[in-house]
Amino acid sequence: MQDWGILKKLSFLLIVGSVLVACATPSPQVIKETVVVTKEIEKKLVVTQPVEVIVEVPVEKIVEVTPTPLVPVIVSITDAALEDDAVGIERQRWLLEQFHAFRPEVVVDPNPYRYDPQTFITRTNSLADNPHPLEDTYAVWLTDARALIESGYAADITLYVEDTPFPEAYHPAILALAQDAYGNIYGLPHTANGMGLMYNRRLFEEAGLDPDKPPQTWGEVREYARQIGDRLDGVDGFNIRNEGTLGGWMSVALMVTFGGETVQSVDGQWLAVYNNNAMVAAMRLMHDLRWQDGTTTSDIKTWGNYALVLDFGAGKTAMTIASADTLGWMIRNLDDLAVDEIGFGRMPNGGANATLGEGSVWLYNPTSSPEVLEAALAFNTWREFDLGAFENAVQLRAKNGELVGLPYINVFTGEYGQQRAAIIEKYANVPVANYANFIDAGVAVRGEPPVAAQELYDELGQVLQQVLAAPNPDIKALLDASAESFQARVLDVINAESVER
C-alpha cells in the first residue's frame, strides 16, 4: 500500500538566467588613407568602437508552498474488541494501523456495543437528541437487516457501490438480505452460517454412494437413507434431534427449507403463523422417514444431543442436520472422533433454497454526512475485500489455536470467493475439502423466531412428539390447535405488554 502521510513542506528553486551573446566580435582601430596629388596628403582616421556585451547575472528565487492540512473524518463503528479478547485486540490494532496508512485522514473510533434486538431500538431512541444516534456503521444480524432497513434505520448506499465490483462479488441470495424490495443496497454482508447436512463419508462409500455428492433435496435424503438402511446393518439412514425444545428447533429448521414463517408482525402485533403448509411439509417429512421408510431410530422421539454425539460419532447414524458449532464441539471434545470421515453438505432443499442460520452485515447511519458515509464504507470494503487483510484474520486465528476451515457459507462468489476459500484452505486445520458442498451452496439464511423463540421451540417440540407418535396424524389440525393456544398464552401477553409500554 502507498503511504499517503501528512504532506511535507515543499520548496523548489526557480533559476532564471539568460546570456545574450554579441553577434560581432570587437575589432581594432582601422586607418584609411586618401591621396590627392595636387594637395597635401589628407589623412582621415576612422575608428570602429567595440560592441558592448550585456550579461544577465543568474538570480536564485525561492518560492515557499504551504501544505493544506488534512481535515480528519471521524467514523464511529460497533463491535470493538473486548478487553478480555487478546486475539481480537491484536486483530483490531492491526486493522487500524494498516487502514491509517491507507487513509490517514480517517479516524476510526470503535465502540464495543454489539447488536441485540432486545436493546437496539431502545438504545437508538435513547440517543435521539444526539445528532448521531447510531454509530456511522454498525453490525447487525444478517437475518434482521431487512426489518431494520424497512424501519428506516439504515442509509441507502447504492450510489456509493454501484460502480464498484463489490455487489457482484456476493452470492445474490446473501446480498438480497441487505437490500430493500426494490433492490437498493443498504449494507455489506460480512459472515453467514447455518444448518447443513452432516453425514458419514465412510458409510456413504460402504452403501455405494458418492461421499463427494451428498443429497441436495429432501427427496434425495429419503432415497439415500433407504439405500443405507438396506445395505448396512445397524445403521440409521437419518436421525434428527427431538428432545425437549430441540424438536421445535429442528422443526423450524426443516420448515425454513420449505419456506414459511413462524410469527409475523401485523400492525405492531405478533401473530402465530407457523400452522402453514411449510411446517406441515416439515413434520410430514419426519413422520414419513419414521413410519413409511423406517430409516430413523425407533427412539427418534427422544434422540437428542447426547445421542447425536454417541451414535453419529460411532457410525450408527449416517445423516443428520447440524451446524458448524456442533461439529466444532465434537472435534474439540471427542478424542477418538474420525474427523476425516465427516462430511458437510448444503441444507437439503425443500423449494425455498434456504437454511436456518445466522450471520452479520454492516449497515450505515442514515444521518451521517456523505463524507463520513464514504469513509465508513471505505473502511468496511477495505477490510472485507483486501485479501491481505482477510489473510491476516485467518492466520491470526490459526496461530492462536482456533479451528480454521469449519463449515461456513461463503457469502462471496466468483474469483474473489475462490481466493478467500484458498486462503482458508492454506491455514485450515480440519479437512475443509469435505465441506465444499456446504460452503459453496449459496443458500439464503433465515433467522430464528423474532420473539418468544424458546417458548415456541418448546411448543413445536410437543407437536412433533405427537406427530411421530401416531401412524396417521392430522398434522394440520395439530398445528392449528397449537398456534391458537400459543397466540393466547404467549403472543397476546407480549402484545399487551408492548401496548402498556
Predicted confidence (pLDDT) at residue 9 exceeds the cutoff of 90: no
Q: How confident is the model at residue 134 (pLDDT cuts 50, 70, 90)?
A: confident
In this prediction, residue 128 carries a pLDDT of 53
- The rounded mean pLDDT for the chain is 87
Overall average pLDDT of the 184-204 stretch: 96
**Cα torsion 214, 216, 220, 221: sign:** positive
In this prediction, residue 129 carries a pLDDT of 57
**Cα torsion 287, 289, 292, 297: sign:** negative
In this prediction, residue 281 carries a pLDDT of 98
Predicted confidence (pLDDT) at residue 412 exceeds the cutoff of 70: yes
Q: How many CB atoms are located within 10 Å of the residue 240 CB?
A: 26
In this prediction, residue 70 carries a pLDDT of 74
Higher pLDDT, 5 or 164: 164
Rounded Cα–Cα distance for residues 366 and 135 (Å): 10
Question: In sequence order, what are the residues at sequence separation of 6 or more whose Cβ sits closer than 8 angstroms to the Cβ of residue 288?
Answer: 222
Q: Which residue has the cell 441470495?
A: 173
Lowest mean pLDDT among 54-68, 146-160, 311-325: 54-68
In this prediction, residue 66 carries a pLDDT of 62
In this prediction, residue 119 carries a pLDDT of 84
Cβ contact 344:438 at 8 Å: yes
Overall average pLDDT of the 191-213 stretch: 97
In this prediction, residue 50 carries a pLDDT of 52
Q: How many CB atoms are located within 10 Å of the residue 18 CB?
A: 7
Pairing of strands 73-77, 106-110: parallel
Predicted confidence (pLDDT) at residue 448 exceeds the cutoff of 50: yes
Topology adopted by domain 73-194+357-439: D-Maltodextrin-Binding Protein; domain 2 (3.40.190)
Lowest mean pLDDT among 115-124, 256-265, 391-400: 115-124
Higher pLDDT, 119 or 83: 83
Domain residue ranges of the chain, discontinuous segments joined by +: 10-65, 73-194+357-439, 196-352+450-500
Q: For the domain with range 196-352+450-500, which CATH number is right: 3.30.300.10, 3.50.50.60, 3.10.450.50, 3.40.190.10?
A: 3.40.190.10
Tens digits of residue pLDDT in 212-244: 999 999 999 999 999 999 999 999 999 999 988
Q: How confident is the model at residue 3 (pLDDT cuts 50, 70, 90)?
A: very low
Rounded Cα–Cα distance for residues 237 and 371 (Å): 57
Backbone phi, psi, residue 211, to 5°? -70, -15
Higher pLDDT, 4 or 205: 205
pTM equals 0.82
Overall average pLDDT of the 468-490 stretch: 97
Overall average pLDDT of the 285-306 stretch: 94
Q: How confident is the model at residue 501 (pLDDT cuts 50, 70, 90)?
A: low
Rounded Cα–Cα distance for residues 245 and 461 (Å): 5
In this prediction, residue 61 carries a pLDDT of 61
Tens digits of residue pLDDT in 19-68: 223 333 333 333 333 334 334 444 444 444 554 555 555 556 666 666 66
Rounded Cα–Cα distance for residues 351 and 257 (Å): 7
266, 411, 427, 454 from 284: Cα distances, Å: 28, 31, 42, 22
Cβ contact 133:98 at 8 Å: no
Rounded Cα–Cα distance for residues 227 and 204 (Å): 9
Pairing of strands 342-345, 106-110: unpaired
Pairing of strands 187-194, 10-16: unpaired
Q: Which residue has the cell 494501523?
A: 97
Q: Grid coordinates representing 142?
A: 444478517
Predicted confidence (pLDDT) at residue 340 exceeds the cutoff of 60: yes
Q: Which residue has the cell 533559476?
A: 15
Overall average pLDDT of the 316-327 stretch: 96
Rounded Cα–Cα distance for residues 460 and 251 (Å): 7
